[in-house]
């Protein structure tokens, strides 16, 4: 490890929404063993603001950042179609790599990223997902411990307004709506709880008539030992799972009960406008959340800066073991067994991108591979692409890239 052994120097490729969130969370969590050292982005105003705020080096070209001797870890936060190129450049430059979800837009690209990291002798971490959340880790711990009996089934439901959030339409098309963007959350959660290995996938997708792209999915997975899993995701702004969970939102804050219908009304209005006008409005909303935009860089928008009243909540997740069933509560977990319901409090801990930075840091300083390494990310992505393939062909898809850790 170059530089001060107590700190790692971070370079970020892509100062969009994800890159802005990384920066905001690091600023809001003092004491992290990271130095924000550099950033690459094609937007001159974003580079200027980054240099003024952090004093780090700035590059218009990602390849130049990856060649810098003053960076230990590269965070790839560019659009998904660029992940293979930028992760490979970082690995070739001898930099450890964190890649935003989705890891890539094809299995071939994901395999190429894993192979580039292996050739470069660097650590690769696939992030970020809700599998880092404290309640999910606790459920996985309980299941692995065996005190509740063998795992029998996992059922997950998440309904929200994902398809109608501010973004350019091309992004929704590229990620097949929520399948490649939100699917990694769902798949990572069940793989972490269920031991990692998915045997097969059978799925259908739900069309979103408002946007004209995929609005969700319904799928049936089988884990090792033939444990059944159902995943349901519907991002069409018609129902909100938070209604079943005392209106706790995804990040652990109180959920706006009108968020879904409001987003749907706004998108229905937008889709009725001329395409050029619609795209301009969506691009403006997207740009506002990028680093250097109107809403980015405000600590009150950072997950790490807030005091969240509840644990993060990615929809309703019910885990059935032989002797008990588990689901989240607002502050931890409910366990249902022969004596009724009891609650297990779960301490709030680092989540999201801070958790993945911590996982990468620990992997580098200890010499051990991160849990969410490249092989893990490839296995998760394989399931997401299987959802699309099964929906297209109407067949069951068998997995070949799975890993257990």
> What pLDDT score was predicted for residue 350?
73
3-state class of 159 per DSSP? strand
Mean of all residue pLDDT scores within the chain: 92
Q: What is the CATH number of domain 131-349+385-398?
A: 3.30.360.10
Which residues of 280-383 form beta strands (DSSP E)? 316-321, 325-328, 332-337, 340-345
CA dihedral over 181, 56, 303, 75, signed as positive or negative: positive
350-396 pLDDT, tens digit per residue, is 777 888 999 999 999 998 889 999 999 999 999 999 999 999 999 99
For residue 281, give every residue at least 6 positions away whose Cβ sits within 8 Å of its Cβ, in sequence order, or none.
Answer: 270, 273
Mean pLDDT of 293-321: 73
4-56 pLDDT, tens digit per residue, is 457 999 999 999 988 998 998 888 887 889 999 999 999 999 999 999 999 99
Mean pLDDT of 61-86: 96
So where are the chain's domains?
A: 8-129+352-373, 131-349+385-398
Q: How confident is the model at residue 294 (pLDDT cuts 50, 70, 90)?
A: low
Residue 111's closest CA among 88, 127, 79?
Answer: 88
Q: Looking at the DSSP assignment, which residues form a beta bridge with residue 344?
A: 333
For residue 384, give every residue at least 6 positions away whose Cβ sits within 8 Å of its Cβ, in sequence order, or none.
Answer: 102, 179, 180, 183, 184, 187
Report whether pLDDT(405) > 80: no
What is the distance between the alpha carbons of residues 279 and 13, in angstroms, rounded to a whole number? Answer: 25
Longest dimension (CA), the chain: 62
Domain made up of 8-129+352-373: CATH architecture? 3-Layer(aba) Sandwich (3.40)
Higher local confidence (pLDDT), 137 or 167: 137
Which DSSP category does 150 fall into? Answer: S
> What pLDDT score was predicted for residue 166?
81
Task: Write out 251-283 in H/E/C secondary structure.
Answer: CCCECCCCHHHHHHHHHHHHHCCCHHHHHHHHH
For residue 151, give every residue at least 6 positions away whose Cβ sits within 8 Å of its Cβ, in sequence order, or none.
Answer: 143, 193, 194, 195, 223, 225, 227, 319, 320, 321
Higher local confidence (pLDDT), 209 or 294: 209
What is the distance between the alpha carbons of residues 21 and 27, in angstroms, rounded to a whole number? Answer: 10
């Amino acid at each position: 490890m170059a530089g001060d052994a107590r700190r790692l120097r971070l370079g970020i490729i892509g100062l969009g929404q994800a890159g802005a969130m990384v920066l905001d969370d690091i600023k809001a969590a003092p004491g992290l063993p990271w130095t924000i050292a550099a950033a690459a982005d094609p937007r001159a105003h974003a580079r200027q603001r980054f240099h003024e705020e952090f004093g780090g080096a700035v590059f218009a070209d990602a390849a130049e950042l990856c060649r810098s001797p003053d960076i230990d870890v590269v965070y790839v936060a560019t659009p998904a179609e660029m992940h293979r190129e930028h992760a490979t450049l970082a690995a070739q430059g001898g930099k450890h790599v964190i890649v935003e979800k989705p890891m890539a837009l094809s299995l071939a690209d994901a395999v190429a990223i894993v192979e580039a990291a292996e050739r470069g002798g660097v650590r690769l971490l696939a992030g970020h997902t809700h599998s880092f959340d404290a309640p999910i880790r606790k459920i996985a711990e309980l299941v692995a411990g065996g005190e509740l009996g063998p795992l029998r089934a996992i059922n997950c439901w998440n309904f929200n307004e994902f398809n109608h959030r501010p973004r350019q339409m091309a992004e929704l098309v590229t990620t097949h709506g929520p399948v490649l963007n939100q699917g990694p959350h769902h798949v990572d959660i069940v793989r972490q709880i269920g031991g990692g290995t998915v045997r097969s996938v059978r799925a259908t997708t739900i069309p979103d008539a408002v946007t004209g792209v995929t609005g969700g999915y319904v799928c049936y997975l089988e884990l090792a030992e033939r444990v059944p899993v159902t995943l349901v995701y519907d991002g069409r702004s018609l129902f909100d799972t938070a209604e079943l969970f005392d209106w706790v939102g995804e990040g652990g804050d109180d959920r706006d009960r009108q968020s879904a219908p409001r987003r749907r009304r706004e998108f229905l209005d937008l889709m009725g406008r001329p395409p050029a006008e619609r795209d301009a409005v969506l691009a403006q909303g997207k740009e506002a959340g990028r680093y250097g935009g109107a809403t980015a860089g405000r600590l009150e928008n950072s997950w790490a800066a807030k005091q969240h009243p509840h644990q993060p909540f990615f929809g309703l997740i019910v885990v059935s073991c032989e002797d008990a069933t588990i689901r989240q509560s607002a502050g931890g977990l409910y366990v249902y067994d022969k004596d009724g319901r009891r609650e297990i409090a779960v301490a709030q801990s680092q989540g999201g991108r801070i958790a993945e930075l911590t996982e990468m840091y620990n992997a580098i300083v200890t010499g051990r591979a991160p849990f969410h390494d490249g092989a893990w990310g490839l296995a998760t992505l394989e399931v997401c692409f299987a959802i699309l393939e099964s929906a297209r062909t109407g067949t069951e898809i068998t997995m070949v890239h799975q890993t257990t850790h």
